[in-house]
Amino acid sequence: MGSVAPFQKIVFRDIVPVTPHRYASKAVVGDDVAIGATLVRDGHGILSARVRWRRTPRAAGPGEPNRRFTRWQSGGLHDVGGGRVEGTIAIDEPGDYEFEVQAWFDRFATWRRDLSLRAAAGDDLDLEFEIGARLIERLSPSVPKAERRRLADAVATLRSATCSEPVRLSAGLDDAVAELLDRVVDPDEVATSPRHRLRIDREIAARGAWYEFFPRSEGGLEKGSASWSRLEEIAAAGFDVVYLPPIHPIGTTNRKGRNNTLLARPDDVGSPWAIGSVEGGHTAVHPDLGTIDDVEAFVARVAELGMEVALDYALQCSPDHPWAREHPEWFTQLPDGSIRFAENPPKKYQDIYPINFWPDRDEDRVALWEACRDVLEHWIDHGVNIFRVDNPHTKPVAFWEWMIRDVQGRHPDVVFLAEAFTLPAMMHTLAEVGFSQSYTYFTWRTAKWELEQYGEELARGPAAGYFRPNLWPNTPDILAGPLRNGPPAAFAMRAMLAATMAPSWGVYSGFELFENQPASPDNEEYLHSEKYELKRRDWDRPDSLMPFLARLNAIRRNHPAMAYLGSLRYHHVDNDEVTAYSYHRGSDTVVVIVNINPTEVREATVHLDHSALGLPWNGGYEVHDEITGETFTWHGGGNYVRLDPAVGPGHVLSVVR
């Protein structure tokens, strides 16, 4: 008969948090991370459990000092019924971590429970007292020395021939003894779950307000340029991240002209995403924008204003990029020897060569992947820690899995935003393998049912534990929905939805000036797109939406509940063009009501789920409109609203407690 493998006596089921394919779950520095597991064991004994976590050990890289394994930390998990144990941990430094659940047959707790039952049944307890004394002696070494005296006294009383049975029973059931032995791991039977990964990010990876602008339209990056003045305005409006499209040299071969025409005039500036020229590639700065020293000064000024710079990371090349000359093996070559340009039918990008991430030779793949990684290292060395990644779904998932872990292993503060408007499976996979946050389908969700269904999916869907949304009403590539030829009220409405439906949101410059002309009826791009020409805008227009965007950002900062997407709840409204949703966390409760019709007044009755918000069903309570400053008295049941888009898109109501 063959030998039997040493199985554990306890089975672990339904451990959280884990992702579907066992990549790292995500959390934010300082936030409570919910840990849970279901424990299964034969018999009727009491099971106890704890969670252990530590920084993931990593081998030192070239030039790095050897790193010691981080010591395990532990915290208790509490029985919530049905074999389920739950608890929370909080981690105060960003980085890659691992955790495991440990469980054991709690012999002392089981003995104590059974002792009480036997005493109530009138059983003889002499033998039970000796069993308890031995258990306490066995577990005492795991208790701090200063507290062992109480345990020794209990052992002595349990074994005493002179103490009465009630006294000995009292020693066995002493709550102070039980408290000292609570969560002490029984060395005779402890089982450990598989380890699971946990990525802890700093807060900006999960919540913040982004503003995108093209520095070349504002005179470059040099100190004294209009770009520096824009920084003052963006910071005053409460944005957290200044996102810059590629700032690298632009190729001249097949350069695109204005409105994406194939023939560029001598003065056409080309697309920033056609990266590379004789002046350099992904690590160079376009000479019209400034120098690397100007970039560092710009990044430092952004930091002084309480923001961060996000830089576009676009892994593609113009035909003039140094890589195209030096490494043709990194591209797809056609039978005639030419290199295939990029396409996303029906869009064509004749000015861009896509990179082939799977060259024929493995050594070429390694060199390419490391070169792409080194681009990030270059910009990290110059102060950039946030990267908006262009079209990551057109590059191998394996590349992102390797590259993100490699970079974040050395630079835990680095954040990656995935610009992947593609199939949900790919978007979720990119989030699983390491992207900190992701663009979403919000841009195309316009009807009430679409918005609410999508909000529920983001807050509580299968990917909610690792897919962090960033909602953008517009991008340089996308002018969609009611913004196309839409009135200013449409922009206010979409901004209000984006800013209040998720912890992260962003806008592309020109949004606040209601730029709304599509390139054509069947094209989502802008007419006179800034991707192909410089834009001159009047930022001082009196009708600018920037003060409204600033108010939205201030509301978000003033209400911590809005930073936690899991608390999003939709409420019934008797109008198909009015949506109502809330955030509730601790003493902070916010109710958002939006008229999604930007041209018509809408009236409705809002029926809040008062029990979910901790509000009274009977009697009144005050709500304060964070936009207008008005205060209203609301009641249980329905409350009437009248929303005129000419006045504003809706209400953001904080409950006065």
Kindly give, in sequence order, each residue whose CB lies less than 8 Å from that of residue 207, ignoring residues fewer than 6 positions away: 28, 503, 504, 563
Is the CB of residue 586 less than 8 Å from the CB of residue 562? no
Is the CB of residue 480 less than 8 Å from the CB of residue 516? no
Quote the distance between the C-alpha of residue 572 and its chain's center: 28
- Between CA 547 and CA 625 the distance in angstroms is 16
Angle value at C-alpha 303, between 297 and 309, nearest 5 degrees: 80
Q: How far is CA 89 from CA 53, 183, 200, 207, in A?
A: 9, 16, 12, 20
- For residue 430, give the nearest of 461, 484, 391 by alpha carbon: 391
Angle value at C-alpha 26, between 388 and 210, nearest 5 degrees: 30
Residue for token pair 């503003």: 211
Give me the active site residues, please: 390, 419
Dihedral of alpha carbons 424, 425, 427, 428, sign: positive
What are the residues facing 419 on neighbouring strands? Answer: 390
What are the residues facing 86 on neighbouring strands? Answer: 36, 78
DSSP state at residue 165: H
- For 612: left if phi > 0, alpha if psi spans -120 to 50, otherwise beta; the answer is alpha
- Between CA 380 and CA 388 the distance in angstroms is 13
- Between CA 484 and CA 526 the distance in angstroms is 9
Q: How far is CA 210 from CA 132, 239, 538, in A?
A: 62, 6, 21
Residue for token pair 């292993």: 409
Residue for token pair 């009403």: 473
